[in-house]
Amino acid sequence: MRIYERYFARQIYLTFIFILFAFSGLFFFFDLINELNSVGHGNYKFQYAVLRVALQTPSRFYEIIPVAALISAIYVFAQMAANSEYTIFRVSGLATNQALRSLLKIGIPLVFLTYLIGEVIGPYTDQLSERVRLEAMGSSVSSNFKSGVWVKDTLTARADGEQVTRFVNVGELKPDATISNVRIYEFDSKFRLSNVRIAQSGVYQPPGHWRLTGVTDTQLIDVPPPAGTPADALNPVYRAKQVALPEYSLRSELTPQILSVLLVSPDRMSMFNLFRYIQHLTENHQDTQRYEIALWRKLLYPFAVFVMLVLSLPFAYLHTRAGVVGMKVFGGIMLGMSFQLFNTLFSHIGTLNTWPAPLTAATPGLVYLVLGLVGLKWVDRH
């Protein structure tokens, strides 16, 4: 790295660290105030609220990093412009394309940092945060349905290769990934109800099995019509056979990782968990649009650091008379916030209109990249 690149990098990284922790501290304060509404429920005390919000800090870092990179670069370049430092660099032979390449090299560590937080640290601490709250309040995870969580499970479960479709109803999903109040409705390849299992609780046993306890197994057996009487498909006759089992091992494609998507929103899941859940939904012929957009956003979001750095470079060409440093920094904050708002809004619009997930995830970044390049070309000419 050249001398001027090291100088740029040192100034930007120091400012970036300060802005990152300043913004995260602000979000910590607001999140803690919001969490106070739950303090006092069950054993959920103030220290648990502080711990929960602290565990959410890595996810806040992930959201803030591109904006912090933009603001720190704008501040550094505005200071250089005010002190005529950048003018000296230009007189010394620093071309615009060279400055842009150097700035992108400075952004590479920030991109890797964003991937590390978004894929490893953030999803893990988010699940810990949710478990702290649920365990302290004595709550369980459930969907908006009063009956609990409904999941479709399709597999080839029989020796003759016949496909079995199950609809699994989980009444409660505990923070430790154990389940309770389980009902399983099993259909054969002709979509006829063949089995109903009700279990008190269940624990996952890898690979691919759930150990259910307190099971009531009801089998529905097709009764053939009397001899000489034609079968009536609209009025079938069944015989029920019920068996009580203390334990039952159920082979299933469902895993605690698939059920754990209820603990965190798709935007805070890792790409690996998103990919596995999309596979599960695809195999069961369910809609994957929302999760595909979240997956592509997770894949492309770290590169927003490069887009923000490109947007910051035109500020180096604005002299002091074009505005004080504080106004430039404020403009950078507004620019970064507008990117976040546009990115979120475009994702919702893409979900509603079922636009292709890669296009929906990439469009906001491409729009702001074009704005940055156009602004850079304009200030370079003037």
Cβ pair 69, 18 in contact under 8 A: no
Name the amino acid, one letter, at 162.
Answer: E
Using alpha carbons, list the distances in angstroms from residue 381 to 52, 213, 314, 317, 375.
51, 74, 11, 10, 10
Q: CB under 8 Å to 6, separation ≥6 — which residues?
A: none
Can you say whether residue 181 is alpha, beta or left, with left for phi > 0 and alpha for psi between -120 and 50 degrees? Answer: left
Give tens-digit pLDDT for 245-275.
888 888 887 777 777 665 567 777 888 888 8
Give the per-residue pLDDT at 25: 92
What the block records as the tokens of 261 is: 């998507």
Q: Kindly tell me if the per-residue pLDDT of 322 is higher than 60.
A: no
Q: Cα–Cα distance between 336 and 330 in angstroms, integer?
A: 10
Phi, psi of 321 (to 5 degrees): -65, -15
Nearest to 12 by CA among 300, 304, 302, 313: 313
Among 22-31, 263-272, 371-380, the least confident range: 263-272
Lowest mean pLDDT among 36-45, 86-95, 158-167, 291-300: 158-167
Which tokens sit at 74? 């704008």
- For residues 88 and 230, the answer to whether their CB atoms sit within 8 Å is no
pLDDT band (50, 70, 90) for residue 138? low
* Termini Cα distance of the chain: 29
**How big is the CA angle at 203 (ends 220 and 245), to the nearest 5 degrees?**
40
pLDDT, mean of residues 170-188 = 81
DSSP state of 322: G
Residue 17: pLDDT above 90? yes
pLDDT band, residue 364 (cuts 50/70/90): very high
Instruction: Supply the pTM of this predicted model.
Output: 0.74
